[in-house]
Amino acid sequence: MKNFSSKGIRFSGKSIKCCIGFIDLVDSTKNTITMDNLESIRKYYSTFINSISENVKSYSGKVIKNIGDCLLFYFPKTSNNKNSDAFKEAIDCGFNILDKRYNINEELTTQHLPPFNYKIIIDYGLVDLALMGEHSQIDLFGSTINLCSKINSSSLSIPNEIIIGDNVYRVLKSFPSLSKNFNFFNNSEYKITHVIRYPTYNIKKEHIFPLLRNK
């Protein structure tokens, strides 16, 4: 890797294809406005960030950064597009986040804090690797991340559901060991421009159901 200065952003010149995860804490601004002290706000956000980070790490993922009430993470093992177990881990991570939400919300209730609701987007594509700051923390850039963010903010994103993009859908479908467990439907799209549309899917544990709304 090239030598860079110790501060700022330094692009490594390396690109990889991998699974990207984007999770958004729904209504966090509205919820924190009702909190009457900073300690409650700190507890609310730290519980969100720490619980998601721990979950992602347990599925071989890496959290890149938090962006307000959102977390960006990726799964390095999926850079090998022949590794079906790695892609299964990425999807299972999303399901586990949703499953654990119930226990976390029970704990939040005992502390008189509002419950968590998530929007989760998972897709696959090319990203550029960069280093940030004096400690050379990894950061990611590219259209795959931008697209996940746009889908998350669109009407296609549903609270407490997992939305996958067409790229990861196609990879999952290429593995017979995985695709046999799902039904795939391709009749929903995110409108990138007036001429380019990108299919998205609502993925369930047993089946994948198409989203029926367009933007």
Instruction: Say if 109 falls within a structural domain.
Output: yes
Instruction: Say if 143 falls within a structural domain.
Output: yes
Instruction: Say if 85 falls within a structural domain.
Output: yes
Enclosing domain of residue 112: 9-210
Total domain count, the chain = 1
What are the φ/ψ torsions at residue 212 (nearest 5 degrees)? -105, 10
CATH of the domain at 131: 3.30.70.1230
Residues 189, 198 contacting (CB under 8 angstroms): yes
Beta strands in 4-86 (DSSP E): 9-25, 62-67, 70-75
Which residue has better confidence, 96 or 208? 96
Residues 160-186 have pLDDT tens digits of: 989 999 999 999 989 888 877 665 555
Residues 74-123 have pLDDT tens digits of: 999 999 999 999 999 999 999 999 999 999 999 999 999 999 999 999 99
DSSP classification of residue 76? G
Q: How many CB atoms lie within 10 A of CB 63?
A: 18
CA 99 to chain CA centroid, Å, is 15
Confidence of residue 188 (pLDDT cuts 50, 70, 90): low
Element (H, E) at 206: none
Q: Residue 116 carries which side chain, given as an amino acid letter?
A: F
Which residue has better confidence, 35 or 83? 83
